């Protein structure tokens, strides 16, 4: 019985650390050629935001609709 309790504690710790890691790295940013704008991708929902910061300080972000898809790999 103590083995099962220990295994459950380890499993709970792994799941909790995975959840914290997923929430901590939720957004990914991509720079654009100009320094005034950047793209922000929400990994959880898949939404894409275009952010503008013409002056130093807080940027304003608007949701953009991204169209298209990634093509499938060709069979060899």
In 3-state terms, what secondary structure has residue 46? coil
Domain boundaries, the chain: 1-64
Contact 30, 42 (CB under 8 A): no
Q: How many CA atoms lie within 13 A of 58 on its CB side?
A: 2
Return the CA Rg of the chain: 20
Strand partners, 64: 48
CB atoms within 10 A of CB 41: 15
pTM score of the predicted model: 0.46
pLDDT per position as a tens digit, 18-75: 888 877 777 777 776 666 777 777 777 778 887 877 777 777 777 776 555 545 555 6
Cα angle vertex 41, ends 57, 59, to 5°?
10
């Amino acid at each position: 019985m103590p083995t099962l309790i220990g295994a459950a504690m380890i499993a709970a710790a792994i799941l909790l650390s995975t959840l914290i890691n997923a929430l901590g790295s939720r957004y990914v940013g991509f720079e654009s050629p100009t320094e005034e704008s950047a793209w922000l991708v929400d990994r959880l929902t898949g939404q894409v935001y275009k952010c503008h910061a013409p002056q130093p300080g807080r940027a304003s972000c608007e949701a953009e609709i991204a169209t298209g898809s990634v093509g499938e790999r060709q069979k060899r």
